């Protein structure tokens, strides 16, 4: 069967009983007296974009930080490609091919584009402790990374501080994708960006999906969900109250669910 796009891929995966790429079951998390997550179940299919939305303190960031290894769950299980996975740090999550791009991007403003793309995994001529940085090789590979995702950066020698917000976000995504993740979590990637920059970042997300990566998108810009997502999961007071296929919902319903209306109107089917 020929699959023309990633939305079709997600549907095909579910109808052929392919296991979810990620399956979270009964996830709980407390911070002192605050119950941030209360038995959350969540699936992420291969090659789909899942939007996670909710009001402040709904639990969406806590859930994705557990998936990315930044937090440990108090209870619950995570399965990756059908196999139970336990990891205790973002580095261990990366070994499971899970990457997260945080809202602050974790870029170094005083380092150039190439340096940021290779930050923490620099290439050397000779032994790393005694050799020299392989700057030319790194720059060629960095340009290839950006070209693959059709990210346009005029000068690789420009420092990140000289780039626009959209370019900075694109660099952070490219760096995460360079680790060849199966799951990419993005926290508010279009927050504070101008219209043209938002369009550029959404286009990068689409291209990441076409590479077969499963994307989790956290955003308060609800209109972005309908541009790139296949499904939406709605969080409310530490629980997942609804899931909707993007083709079976609209902005009005999602807003109602976020503010606490209509949680029992109908159960979603994310087949």
The structure's pTM equals: 0.83
Tokens of 114: 């190439």
Report the 10 Å Cβ neighbour count for 212: 12
Sheet with 75-80, edge to edge strand ranges: 34-44, 22-31, 75-80, 83-85
pLDDT in tens, the chain (271 residues): 333 344 444 444 443 467 899 999 999 999 999 999 999 999 999 999 999 999 999 999 999 999 999 999 999 999 999 999 999 999 999 999 999 988 777 888 999 999 999 887 777 876 666 667 878 888 898 998 898 888 888 888 899 999 988 888 888 888 888 888 999 999 988 888 888 888 888 999 999 999 999 999 999 999 999 999 999 999 999 999 999 999 999 999 999 999 988 665 444 444 4
C-alpha distance across the termini of the chain, in Å: 18
Q: What is the CATH number of domain 1-92+223-271?
A: 3.40.50.300
Structural domain boundaries in the chain: 1-92+223-271
Tokens of 121: 């995994």
- Residue 159 phi, psi dihedral angles, 5° rounding: -75, 155
Angstrom distance (rounded) from CA 131 to CA 133: 7
- List, in order, residues 6 or more apart from 31 with CB less than 8 Å away: none
Rg (CA), the chain: 19
On whether the CB atoms of residues 251 and 223 are closer than 8 A, the answer is yes
Place of tokens 């009005």: 252
- List, in order, residues 6 or more apart from 267 with CB less than 8 Å away: none
Angle between helices 165-178 and 135-148 (to 10 degrees): 100
- List, in order, residues 6 or more apart from 158 with CB less than 8 Å away: 112, 113
């Amino acid at each position: 069967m020929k699959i023309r796009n990633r939305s079709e891929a997600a549907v095909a995966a579910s109808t052929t009983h392919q296991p979810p790429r990620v399956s979270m079951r009964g996830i709980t998390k407390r911070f002192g007296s605050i119950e941030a997550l209360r038995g959350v179940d969540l699936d992420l299919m291969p090659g789909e974009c899942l939007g996670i939305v909710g009001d402040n303190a709904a639990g969406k960031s806590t859930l994705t930080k557990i998936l990315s290894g930044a937090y440990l769950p108090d209870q619950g299980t995570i399965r990756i490609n059908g196999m139970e996975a336990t990891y205790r740090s973002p580095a261990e999550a990366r070994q499971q091919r899970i990457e997260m791009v945080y809202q602050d991007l974790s870029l170094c403003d005083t380092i150039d584009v190439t340096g940021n793309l290779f930050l923490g995994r620099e290439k050397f001529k000779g032994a790393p402790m005694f050799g020299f940085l392989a700057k030319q090789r790194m720059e060629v590979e960095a340009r290839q990374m950006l070209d693959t995702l059709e990210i346009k950066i005029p000068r690789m020698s420009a420092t990140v501080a000289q780039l626009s917000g959209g370019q900075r976000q694109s660099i952070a995504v490219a760096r995460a994708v360079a680790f060849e993740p199966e799951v990419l979590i993005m926290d508010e990637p279009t927050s504070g960006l101008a219209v043209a920059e938002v369009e550029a970042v959404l286009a990068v997300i689409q291209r990441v999906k076409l590479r077969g990566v499963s994307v989790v998108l956290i955003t308060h810009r609800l209109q972005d969900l309908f541009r790139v997502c296949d499904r939406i999961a709605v969080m409310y007071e530490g629980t997942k109250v609804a899931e909707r296929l993007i083709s079976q919902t609209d902005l009005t319903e999602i807003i109602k669910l976020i503010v606490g209306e209509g949680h029992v109107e109908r159960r979603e089917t994310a087949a």
